Amino acid sequence: MMNEKTRPNDYIIDLKHISKSFEDTQVLDDISMYIRRNEFLTLLGPSGCGKTTLLRIIGGFESATEGEVLFEGKNIGDLPPYKRKINTVFQKYALFPHMNVEDNISFGLQIKKMDKKLIQKKVYEMLELVNLKGYEKRSIDSLSGGQQQRIAIARALVNEPQVLLLDEPLGALDLKLRKGMQLELKKIQQKVGITFIYVTHDQEEALTMSDTIAIMNEGRVQQIGTPVDIYNEPKNAFVADFIGESNILQGIMLKDYLVRFHDVDFECVDRGFGENMPIDVVVRPEDIKIVDKDQGMLNGLVESVTFKGVHYEMIVKSTSYSWIVHSTVMSPIGSQVGMVITPPDIHIMKRR
Q: Which is nearer to other proteins, 108 or 234 (CB)?
A: 108
Q: State the Cα–Cα distance between residues 350 and 254, nearest whole angstrom.
A: 14
Task: Count the site residues for other proteins by CB under 8 A.
Answer: 24
> What x/- string results for residues 110 through 139 when contact with other proteins is judged by CB under 8 A?
-xx---------------------------
Q: Which of 2, 97, 306, 320 binds other proteins (CB under 8 A)?
A: 97
Q: Name residues contacting other proteins, limited to 159-178 (CB under 8 A).
A: 159
**60 is an interface residue for other proteins by CB under 8 A:** yes
Are the C-beta atoms of residues 167 and 8 closer than 8 Å to each other? no
Instruction: Report 270-329 residues binding other proteins (CB under 8 A).
Output: none
Cβ-contact 304, 334 below 8 angstroms: no
Q: Which of 94, 172, 258, 297 binds other proteins (CB under 8 A)?
A: 94
State which of residues 5, 98, 137, 308 lies at the interface with other proteins (CB under 8 A): 98
Rule CB under 8 A: which of 8-47 touch other proteins? Answer: none
For other proteins, which is the closer residue by CB, 107 or 124?
A: 107
80 sits near other proteins (criterion: CB under 8 A): yes
Shortest reach from residue 180's CB to other proteins, in Å: 24
- Contacts of residue 78, defined as CB under 8 A and 6 or more positions apart, other chains included, come to 63
CB-wise, 17 or 83, nearer to other proteins? 83
Q: Which residues of the chain form contacts with other proteins (CB under 8 A)? A: 59-61, 80-82, 86-88, 90-92, 94-98, 107-108, 111-112, 155-156, 159
